A and B are shown apart, each in its own frame.
Chain A
Amino acid sequence: MKEIISLTRLFINESLGVSLFFYNQKYNKKEFYKQLFTLIIVPVALIPAYFMYISVMTATYFGLSMINQSSVFLSIGYIIATVLILVFGVMYVLSEFYFSDNIEELIPLPISQRKLIVAKFFSILAFEYIFAGLIFIPVLVIYGIGQGMGPLYGLLAFFVFLTIPVLPLSLVTAVIMFIMQSASLKGRKDMIQIVFVFLGVAAIFGLQIWFSSQLGSGDEVDFQLLMNTMLTSNEGFLNIIGYIMPSSFLMAWALNKITLMSFAWVAVLLGITFFSCALMVAIGERVYIKSIVSGKVIKKGKRLSGDARSKALTRKSHGAMAIFIMDLRLLMRTPVYFFNNISVVIIAPLCILLSFSFIEIPADDLQGIQNFFREMPVLVNFLLIAFFIFFGGTTATTATTFSREGKTSWLTRMIPVTAKDQILGRTGVAVLIQSLGIVFSIIAVQFFFPLALSTLLLTIILGLLGSLPILLFGLFMDMNRPLLNWDNPQKAIKNNMNVVITLFVGMAYTGLLIGISGLLGYFVNALLGYGLFTVISLGFSVVFYQVISKRLEVEMLNFE
């Protein structure tokens, strides 16, 4: 047990950079204050959002009590927490178990596989408990106060809370280990492995939904009927949620009303949790180390003839182009980067396509919606622009552009590439990704709401233009404080405050810009609205461009 605890602490320390933090406190004050600043400012910045979450949940509770459905409340919170843990868990598990270099140093040491697996699992769990606490504890408290529950509820709630992250996380870990093993045995490249993992997780979700539809009303879910049953019977909605996440039943039975049976249900929940954890460890012991040892084969290229070499070498490219291609290749070929920066471009349009094709909108309703939009082209256009900026802002590709290079960044800093070429190349990659997102979503939308060519041209141009300041701001952040000292590419993105800051600043900025120019366009004059939007975007872009090109060469001297 001692060994497991010290291993867990090692893994947590490693992923948070605790030692570096205290080293900086002693020897590198400037860096220390920078870190301390973000450590304080980011939680503070998140307080309003969190406050909003609590208010929404409180309002939900009162709303549900009003329609006599308060028993659903805990289940909703449970599902939210579980789904979020599942979604973020996939990346955490992949990162800790498969992308982290420490495992290769640990395998030769005389530590049992089981201890390694358990310690790695615990180190992820530690974060997930904080996460789950932030999301689920308010739900438990709101319900407890609302229903006037006593200390017994508190005790049982505590035990239920303990199980929350463990159950989904151990299932995800087991599935990922299983898939990574079968993929790596066939000697596939890491990219394919991760695609497999995502497919696998998607398949599990799909199966769940399929099951629930089978268990449900038979063929189609009749929405009207659903509403009726939900409103008339207290348990109706609860059942529907339960089909999606069976363990939520146990939780609901245990906590909705405290009876003697509650203890039994909590015991069952604890038992299932423990069992799933043990199952994960058992699977891990069989496949984990084995797949690490065998999965590290790098596929080699075929030998090049003299002709092929000369063809590849003698085509001369511009400096900006060289940077652009290198940055793009690193993004495409590093799975973590691909999934963080590029996958949204595919997933978001797919979501549009799927949600439109599953939700049956009656023909005259559709007609009505289309007419509504046709009467207010300015609003539609600004909505589209905001959506297009979303692809530029959310991926935050430029905010990690130097960080992603990590220890290889010496090369970037040594070569004589002008600041202009660096900016063009790196921003170009972000714009390319964004454009792909725009094109894909236009294709998806086009099936349901055909848009005029003029609308498309206007919104695409303004959408790209409007995101330029955010992209350049991201570059500016990463130039000032790149995160280069990592051993695992996941950290270059997930531990990188530049991403968070760029995201928040970008969202706030976009909201303001779209709000102001949209209001101007709607109430005063459309052209004036677009004009203001263009002027502001161009203005900020020019300012950031100037600042970066003046400072970049000097800042590169301070990267380490």
Chain B
Amino acid sequence: MLKLEQVSKTYGNKNEKAVDNISFEVRPGEIFGFVGPNGAGKTTTIKMIVSLLAPNSGKITINGIDNQQDILGAKKQFSYVPDTPELFEKIKGIEYLKFMADVYQVPASERQERIEKYLDIFEIKDAINDPIGSFSHGMKQKLALVGALIHNPQVFILDEPMVGLDPKASFELKKIMRDHCDSGRSVFFSTHVLDVAEKICDRIAIIKKGKLIEVGTMDEIRKKAGSQESLENIFLELTE
């Protein structure tokens, strides 16, 4: 569903690689957690997946489409919610949602039902006619989530989604993620909290200082951690 092959990225002229030769695969029907401490390279990796950054080397395929060969085709396969969604302040919530439905060419018949459903779940129906500038941080995040769910994407990509959401919204989001995967689609999200990943992910990948340390189910990794000191240290960092 989502496949990274030897992807690397350096910023500017630094010799330091923000992302260093990363490979992993997210399978259909899977919630995949991308776990690592602050500054590990999670956001950088995600930006390369969603075509906001060009990798220096390596290949990324989304639903079988190479995102450097067919940028537009790849973009149609996913939707993405960044860690701090900056949205057009002067635009009303409803105008934003209509815009998203239009650019993803969502059929008129499906729009209303889907939007109403998610507006109800996240309880922002009443604010929908206000300019986004008047939204709180959490409300912006919820609106971005609704906008991302409009076209029912093959891969749902989220950067630190639980940060800033209230407990109820966080709970609902986890449920939405699960539903999404049950229909054969995938979810890929990053987090710096191991706890979150442990509870909802089918598999996780651990990244530190740009390098992928481990990929697998939680149980597999935990077993390894017992025998491997480096992994244990990371667990400490992630569970503080």
CB within 8 A of B94: which of A28, A312, A411?
A312
- Looking at the complex, which of A243-251, A318-326, A389-397, A471-479 is the stretch in contact with chain B? A318-326
- Looking at the complex, which of B51-59, B161-169, B191-199 is the stretch in contact with chain A? B51-59
Task: Please report the C-alpha to C-alpha distance between residue A310 and residue B97 in the assembled complex, in whole angstroms.
Answer: 12
Residues of A within 8 A of B103 (CB): 319, 322-323, 415-417
Interface residues of B in 46-101 (CB under 8 A from A): 50-54, 71-73, 75-76, 80, 82, 86-88, 90-92, 94-95, 97-101
Is A301 in contact with B130, judged by CB distance below 8 angstroms? yes
Residues of B within 8 A of A318 (CB): 102
Task: Please report the C-alpha to C-alpha distance between residue A558 and residue B53 in the assembled complex, in whole angstroms.
Answer: 6
Number of A-B pairs, beta carbon distance below 8 Å: 125
Q: Is B6 an interface residue (CB 8 A)?
A: no
Residues of B within 8 A of A315 (CB): 98, 108
Interface residues of B in 111-161 (CB under 8 A from A): 111-112, 115-116, 126-131, 133-134
Is A413 in contact with B91, judged by CB distance below 8 angstroms? no
Task: Please report the C-alpha to C-alpha distance between residue A406 and residue B94 in the assembled complex, in whole angstroms.
Answer: 21
Is B130 in contact with A329, judged by CB distance below 8 angstroms? no
Q: Is B14 an interface residue (CB 8 A)?
A: yes
Can you pick out 21 interface pairs between chain A and chain B where the beta carbons lie within 8 Å of each other? A27-B14, A300-B134, A301-B130, A310-B112, A312-B95, A312-B98, A313-B111, A314-B108, A316-B102, A322-B98, A322-B103, A325-B99, A330-B91, A333-B91, A334-B90, A410-B86, A416-B75, A416-B103, A553-B71, A554-B54, A556-B51
Is B133 in contact with A557, judged by CB distance below 8 angstroms? no
Q: Is A407 an interface residue (CB 8 A)?
A: yes
**Given known contacts A309-B94, A329-B95, A416-B75, what 14 new A-B pairs fall within 8 Å (CB)?**
A27-B11, A27-B13, A298-B130, A300-B129, A300-B130, A301-B129, A301-B130, A309-B115, A312-B94, A315-B98, A316-B105, A322-B98, A410-B86, A414-B50
Is B86 in contact with A408, judged by CB distance below 8 angstroms? yes
Residues of B within 8 A of A312 (CB): 94-95, 98
Task: Please report the C-alpha to C-alpha distance between residue A52 and residue B11 in the assembled complex, in whole angstroms.
Answer: 45
Is A416 in contact with B92, judged by CB distance below 8 angstroms? no
Q: Is B12 an interface residue (CB 8 A)?
A: yes
Task: Please report the C-alpha to C-alpha distance between residue A316 and residue B101 in the assembled complex, in whole angstroms.
Answer: 8
Task: Please report the C-alpha to C-alpha distance between residue A93 and residue B215 in the assembled complex, in whole angstroms.
Answer: 56
Task: Please report the C-alpha to C-alpha distance between residue A560 and residue B47 in the assembled complex, in whole angstroms.
Answer: 11
Is B94 in contact with A313, judged by CB distance below 8 angstroms? yes
Known: A303-B129, A317-B102, A416-B103. A553 touches B108 (CB 8 A): no
- Chain B nearest Cβ from A126, distance in angstroms: 30
Those 7 A-B pairs whose CB atoms lie nearest each other, nearest first: A301-B129, A416-B75, A322-B102, A333-B90, A557-B54, A27-B12, A298-B134
Is A554 in contact with B128, judged by CB distance below 8 angstroms? no
Known: A314-B111, A333-B90. A28 touches B71 (CB 8 A): no
Task: Please report the C-alpha to C-alpha distance between residue A306 and residue B117 in the assembled complex, in whole angstroms.
Answer: 12
Is B76 in contact with A416, judged by CB distance below 8 angstroms? yes
Known: A319-B102, A408-B86, A408-B88. A309 touches B75 (CB 8 A): no
- Chain B nearest Cβ from A556, distance in angstroms: 7
Residues of A within 8 A of B53 (CB): 557, 560
Is A326 in contact with B88, judged by CB distance below 8 angstroms? yes
Task: Please report the C-alpha to C-alpha distance between residue A451 and residue B12 in the assembled complex, in whole angstroms.
Answer: 58
Closest to A332 in B: B90
Highest count of chain B CB atoms <10 Å: which of A298, A333, A408, A416: A416
Tell me what chain A mostly uses at the interface: helix, strand, loop, or mixed: helix
Task: Please report the C-alpha to C-alpha distance between residue A304 and residue B115 in the assembled complex, in whole angstroms.
Answer: 14
Is B133 in contact with A304, judged by CB distance below 8 angstroms? no
Task: Please report the C-alpha to C-alpha distance between residue A321 and residue B126 in the assembled complex, in whole angstroms.
Answer: 27
Is B131 in contact with A326, judged by CB distance below 8 angstroms? no
Closest to B135 in A: A298
Is A413 in contact with B52, judged by CB distance below 8 angstroms? yes
Is A558 in contact with B104, judged by CB distance below 8 angstroms? no
Interface size on A, residues (CB 8 A): 49
Interface residues of A in 515-542 (CB under 8 A from B): none
Closest to A556 in B: B51
CB within 8 A of A553: which of B14, B72, B86, B100?
B72
Residues of A within 8 A of B126 (CB): 303
Is A414 in contact with B95, judged by CB distance below 8 angstroms? no
Query: Which residues from chain A sit less than 8 Å from chain B, CB to CB?
Result: 27-29, 298-304, 306, 309-310, 312-319, 321-323, 325-326, 329-330, 333-334, 405-408, 410-411, 413-418, 553-554, 556-560
Task: Please report the C-alpha to C-alpha distance between residue A406 and residue B97 in the assembled complex, in whole angstroms.
Answer: 20
Task: Please report the C-alpha to C-alpha distance between residue A321 and residue B105 in the assembled complex, in whole angstroms.
Answer: 12
Interface residues of B in 23-48 (CB under 8 A from A): none
Known: A322-B102, A414-B51. A316 touches B134 (CB 8 A): no
Task: Please report the C-alpha to C-alpha distance between residue A500 and residue B133 in the assembled complex, in whole angstroms.
Answer: 30
Task: Please report the C-alpha to C-alpha distance between residue A425 and residue B116 in the assembled complex, in whole angstroms.
Answer: 28
- Chain A nearest Cβ from B102, distance in angstroms: 4
Task: Please report the C-alpha to C-alpha distance between residue A410 and residue B46 in the assembled complex, in whole angstroms.
Answer: 13
- Chain B nearest Cβ from A308, distance in angstroms: 8
Closest to B50 in A: A414
Task: Please report the C-alpha to C-alpha distance between residue A554 and residue B3 in the assembled complex, in whole angstroms.
Answer: 20
Residues of A within 8 A of B86 (CB): 406-408, 410
Known: A313-B115, A410-B52, A416-B103. A301 touches B92 (CB 8 A): yes
Is B54 in contact with A319, judged by CB distance below 8 angstroms? no
Closest to B107 in A: A316
Residues of B within 8 A of A300 (CB): 127, 129-131, 134
Is A321 in contact with B90, judged by CB distance below 8 angstroms? no
Residues of A within 8 A of B128 (CB): 304, 309
Residues of B within 8 A of A557 (CB): 51-54, 71
Residues of B within 8 A of A407 (CB): 86
- Chain A nearest Cβ from B103, distance in angstroms: 5
Task: Please report the C-alpha to C-alpha distance between residue A312 and residue B104 in the assembled complex, in whole angstroms.
Answer: 16
Residues of A within 8 A of B97 (CB): 313
Is A329 in contact with B102, judged by CB distance below 8 angstroms? no
Residues of A within 8 A of B54 (CB): 554, 557-558
Residues of B within 8 A of A316 (CB): 101-102, 105, 107-108
Is A313 in contact with B98, judged by CB distance below 8 angstroms? yes
Residues of A within 8 A of B13 (CB): 27-29
Task: Please report the C-alpha to C-alpha distance between residue A315 and residue B99 in the assembled complex, in whole angstroms.
Answer: 11
Highest count of chain B CB atoms <10 Å: which of A313, A319, A417, A418: A313
Task: Please report the C-alpha to C-alpha distance between residue A304 and residue B107 in the assembled complex, in whole angstroms.
Answer: 22
Residues of B within 8 A of A411 (CB): 87-88
Residues of A within 8 A of B50 (CB): 414
